[in-house]
């Protein structure tokens, strides 16, 4: 028995040092070399600071609405709803989001609503949505702001973030950056 306990204790101490000390220090060190020392991209606008890598709530008709959040856009604790697709409470919540979207976008059919406009991401803090999620909102924003739809579509095209190496993941749009660019349109 003694021949098993000593190696087990050594392994425990070694992994504790590796994963609780060495690994965090290496990750912290690499973050210090990145822009803004690993604190994410900060956008300052009108004296306020916004983190572009954390989802923001936009629900005004003159803006592109962001993806719903299961945590109320609270960056202190990310997380999904953990409710399955057959959960009645979850389905009621999704239906309420669909109904709200249709009230504010009456010219859109229910089948045209992208799933990322009515479901929260796994973290509840996703700052991005799909290109389709932006385009489906163009009519409402054009009407509210009295802007040509073609200008909004051009803006969307400019704000598209391509997949990593044009290979990994879908095209996406950062909602905060899109709405900031929208406010700067004349």
Calpha distance 30→80 (Å, rounded) = 28
pTM, entire model: 0.77
CB 141 within 8 A of CB 64: yes
**Annotated domain spans of the chain:** 1-39, 41-183
Torsion sign across C-alpha atoms 182, 99, 125, 76: positive
Which pLDDT does position 186 carry in this prediction?
67
Calpha distance 47→71 (Å, rounded) = 26
Average pLDDT, the chain: 88
Confidence of residue 41 (pLDDT cuts 50, 70, 90): confident
Calpha distance 11→32 (Å, rounded) = 30
Which pLDDT does position 155 carry in this prediction?
93
Asked if residue 124 has pLDDT above 80, the reply is no
Return phi, psi of residue 140, to 5°. Answer: -60, -45
Confidence of residue 112 (pLDDT cuts 50, 70, 90): very high
């Amino acid at each position: 028995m003694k021949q098993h306990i000593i190696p087990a204790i050594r392994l425990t101490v070694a992994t504790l040092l590796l994963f609780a000390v060495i690994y965090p220090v290496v990750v912290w060190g690499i973050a210090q070399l990145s822009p803004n020392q690993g604190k994410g991209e900060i956008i300052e606008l009108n004296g306020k600071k916004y983190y572009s890598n954390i989802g923001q709530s936009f629900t005004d008709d003159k803006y592109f609405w962001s993806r719903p959040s299961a945590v109320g856009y609270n960056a202190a604790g990310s997380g999904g709803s953990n409710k399955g697709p057959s959960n009645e409470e979850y389905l009621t919540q999704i239906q309420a989001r669909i109904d709200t979207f249709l009230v504010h976008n009456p010219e859109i059919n229910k089948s045209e609503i992208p799933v990322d406009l009515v479901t929260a991401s796994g973290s509840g803090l996703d700052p991005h949505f799909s290109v389709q999620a932006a385009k489906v909102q163009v009519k409402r924003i054009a009407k509210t702001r009295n802007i040509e739809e073609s200008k909004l579509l051009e803006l969307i095209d400019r704000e598209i973030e391509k997949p990593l190496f044009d290979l990994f993941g879908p095209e996406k749009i950062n909602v905060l950056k899109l709405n900031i660019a929208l406010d700067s349109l004349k």
